Amino acid sequence: MKICVLPGDGIGPEIMAQAVRVLKAVHPSLETEDALLGGCAVDAFGSPYPEPTRVLARKADAVLLGAVGGPRWDSKPRDLRPETGLLAIRKDLGLFANLRPALLYPELADSSTLKPEVVAGLDILIVRELTGDIYFGQPRGIETREIDGKRQRFGFNTMHYSEAEIVRIGRVAFDAARRRGRKLCSVDKMNVLETTQLWRDVMTELSGNYPDVMLTHMLVDNAAMQLVREPKQFDVIVTGNMFGDILSDEASMLTGSIGMLPSASLDESGKGLYEPSHGSAPDLAGRDLANPLATILSAAMLLRYTFSMQADAERIENAVRKVLAQGFRTADIYRPGTKKIGTRAMGDAVIAALDAR
């Protein structure tokens, strides 16, 4: 059992150090090996997803990622940006199914900017397609063209989905709904975009195989509104890459604590890349301030989805609940009356809270 560890940039190395400590406390025999992805890889190898990282990531059973990006690389050409490395590893490993839970912990009920009664008990899962759509469609680019008698710059991207791509993400979403509240909402923009008309048709056809799951459809603009109006109407949401990017950020903020949310990106065989939903927070880097819990919870997802170690995943998740109940908080979730601690102390607290096996 080998895990490729990609600490990344910004707060990545700090939060990753705590997640790896927790993993090893739960499973001393897990083997980990570090590699570079993102801005640190651009600095060292001139590529955000260099060959040694690719070799290790392909060989490992799972990948645990901290975060990538930072202002230092923002002005670089597109192929030297940290985000390009993230997109490249997703595509290269075939990680088409992105699971983004938005769960409000009762201890953090007052973290949300929404009224407590709107978000109390919130537990949503967004299933985002991750290797298709306008993110990867060709042709794409910025060119100079003659338009309306004027030479001018012209930007273009291409949105497309094949039936097979929709079916495979649909299956992941229906299966997930089956293990939860048996409600699936498919989000599209079929009133304007043919690609998403096909999306809706295929989801409807697929629902014949899942009579126990209630499928509904929603247009993406309405879904964005419903997520803040009445988020608890949702159980599982399935949508394409672009809409999923936007809606998952919106859903994460319902919980008020993006520093708490893990994610999993899976291939057809259950191999996965696990990462916190938040970014690299360069302003917090190196200051022992960042919240490592999303990365620690991502490690729990890794044990659950790639290694089928349900009990161990729950041990970590229960430990996180316990430290919150004990009142420990990093700065991002701190409220008067709780105990503010740093990144490393939060790792210590989680390890101390792991129940004996």
For binding to ligand IPM (CB under 6 A), which residues are involved?
83, 86-87, 245
86 binds, among ligand IPM, Mg ion, none (CB under 5 to 8 A by kind): ligand IPM
Cα separation, 277 vs 101, in Å, equals: 9
The residue within the footprint of Mg ion, chosen from 43, 61, 92, 245 (CB under 5 A), is 245
Q: State CA 99 to chain mean position distance.
A: 6
Closer residue to ligand IPM (CB): 223 or 353: 223
Closer residue to ligand IPM (CB): 135 or 328: 135
Closer residue to Mg ion (CB): 34 or 245: 245
Q: Which residue in 43, 61, 123, 249 is the catalytic one?
A: 249
Closer residue to ligand IPM (CB): 49 or 328: 49
Active-site annotation holds for 245: yes
Active-site annotation holds for 249: yes
Q: 59: closest CA among 90, 12, 26, 93?
A: 93
Q: Which residue in 135, 210, 274, 305 is the catalytic one?
A: 135
**In the complex, minimum distance from the CB of residue 325 to ligand IPM, in angstroms, rounded to a whole number:** 30
**Is there binding between residue 250 and Mg ion (CB under 5 A)?**
no
Cα separation, 301 vs 307, in Å, equals: 9
How many Cβ atoms are within 10 Å of 74's Cβ, its own excluded? 11
**In the complex, minimum distance from the CB of residue 110 to Mg ion, in angstroms, rounded to a whole number:** 25
Cα separation, 234 vs 243, in Å, equals: 16
**In the complex, minimum distance from the CB of residue 245 to ligand IPM, in angstroms, rounded to a whole number:** 4
The DSSP H or E segment spanning 200 is helix 194-206
User: With b meaning 16 or more CB within 10 Å and e meaning fewer, what string describes 267-290?
Assistant: beeebbbbbbbbbbbbebbeeebb
Cα separation, 49 vs 5, in Å, equals: 13
Active-site annotation holds for 133: no
Residues forming the site for Mg ion (CB under 5 A): 245
Residues tagged active-site = 135, 189, 221, 245, 249
